[in-house]
Amino acid sequence: MTETTPSIFSRIVAREIPATIVAETDALIAFEDINPQAQVHVLVVPKTERYATVSELASGDPQLLADLVGMAQQIADDRSSGQYRLIFNSGEQAGQTVFHVHAHILAGDLGEGSLVGR
């Protein structure tokens, strides 16, 4: 049996790596991105590493995906009057670098170049 290295997000969940946590439940954790691309840039991450992409999460645990979106909305309500972008990168060519499903909440000043697909 081969052991896999925990993702950086699992290490945050385990409190091995510090993060500015903004919300947490038994199944989800949300924390500020260490390299923010907007005034508000928060990641929402399931505590399980079982799913690499949002499609896997949607088919494997749709309730967890719904809970993730609900947490994103609550954070956006608190930090940006409920107006935000919710982004999932799925696959290396799409910019995914951590293969532990996660959503980016972006709000506020997004800067030039980050408004692709308006």
DSSP state letter for 27: S
Vertex 19, ends 53 and 106: CA angle to 5°?
Answer: 55
HSE (CB half, 13 Å, CA atoms) of 96?
Answer: 17
Q: Is residue 75 classed exposed, middle or buried when 0-12, 13-18 and 19+ CB atoms within 10 A define those classes?
A: buried
Of the candidates 42, 37, 41, 59, the one whose C-alpha atom is nearest the C-alpha of residue 50 is 59
Please answer whether residues 96 and 90 qualify as being in contact, where contact means their C-beta atoms are separated by less than 8 angstroms. Answer: yes
Residues taking part in catalysis: 102
